[in-house]
Amino acid sequence: MNSMQNRSLFRALRTRVATACAFAAFAAAPAWAHDVTAGSLLISHPHARPSVPGQPTGAAYVAITNRGAAADRLVGASAASIADHVELHEMRRDGDVMRMREVEAIELPPGRTVTLEPGGLHLMLVGLKAPLAVGQRFELTLTFRRAGRVQVDAFVDPVAEMPMQHSSHASAPR
Ligand SMILES: [Cu+2]
């Protein structure tokens, strides 16, 4: 093994230790905490909307504050207990129409809060195993490039305003 390989092995080990620390920090938080700290990230109010009956998709939202000095990015999510898979989506105006598309990652610049919310960035819950009802809780795993995998409890909250139609998702290009 040359020194170059040695260095990259060392880096890999360091990354693993950092990830372990992030998990330890999470484990120390109260089991039902709605805000979760993972490394320099504060993950606030993960929640979903009740799904439209008969529709196989739902949407989840969360606010993520990067309190560190380095950029991070959300690169994936899963909620295996309720959905087949979770996609990162953004909504953009295209002429008169709002369209969704899947994005590879959501950037988390240092010192900023990125809010996933209706009409903007969201987590698309694809292949719901059952309709999402108000009051339901589910485990949501968020995967960050730096902070690693973080598990949070998400709740299905009532919708205050008119529910947003997500019918366009069924035919959204993958
Ligand atoms: Cu979507």
Segment 21-27 long-range contacts (CB within 8 Å, at least 24 positions apart): 22/147, 22/148, 22/150, 23/148, 23/149, 26/150, 26/151
User: In terms of residues, how long is the chain?
Assistant: 174
Q: According to the model, what pLDDT value does residue 161 have? A: 55
- List Cα–Cα distances, 18 to 37, 43, 135, 149, in angstroms: 14, 18, 34, 11
Q: Which residues on adjacent β-strands are paired with residue 128?
A: 83
Residue 71 pLDDT greater than 80, yes or no: yes
Gap from CA of 146 to ligand 1 centroid (Å): 25
Gap from CA of 125 to ligand 1 centroid (Å): 8
Gap from CA of 141 to ligand 1 centroid (Å): 18
Q: According to the model, what pLDDT value does residue 83 have? A: 98
Q: Is 58 exposed, middle or buried (0-12, 13-18, 19+ CB in 10 A)?
A: buried
- Sketch out the chain's domains with CATH numbers: 3-160 (2.60.40.1890)
Split at pLDDT 50, 70, 90, the class of 14 is very low
CB 167 within 8 A of CB 58: no
The residue that leads in pLDDT, 155 or 9, is: 155
Question: For residues 52 and 17, what is the distance between their CA atoms, to the nearest angstrom?
Answer: 42
Gap from CA of 1 to ligand 1 centroid (Å): 47
Gap from CA of 148 to ligand 1 centroid (Å): 23
Residue 6 pLDDT greater than 80, yes or no: no
Q: Dump pLDDT digits (tens) for 97-142.
A: 999 999 999 999 999 999 999 999 999 999 999 999 999 999 999 9
CB 166 within 8 A of CB 52: yes
- Percent of the chain exceeding pLDDT 90 equals 67
The residue that leads in pLDDT, 124 or 30, is: 124
Mean pLDDT of the chain: 81
- Half-sphere exposure in the Cβ direction for 126 (13 Å, CA): 18
Gap from CA of 124 to ligand 1 centroid (Å): 5
Gap from CA of 72 to ligand 1 centroid (Å): 22
Q: Which two tokens stand for residue 38?
A: 């993972």
Q: According to the model, what pLDDT value does residue 114 have? A: 98
Gap from CA of 89 to ligand 1 centroid (Å): 5
Gap from CA of 123 to ligand 1 centroid (Å): 7
Average pLDDT (30-52) is: 85
Gap from CA of 169 to ligand 1 centroid (Å): 6
Residue 76 pLDDT greater than 90, yes or no: yes
Average pLDDT (19-24) is: 39
Gap from CA of 70 to ligand 1 centroid (Å): 28
Gap from CA of 161 to ligand 1 centroid (Å): 18
Q: According to the model, what pLDDT value does residue 113 have? A: 98
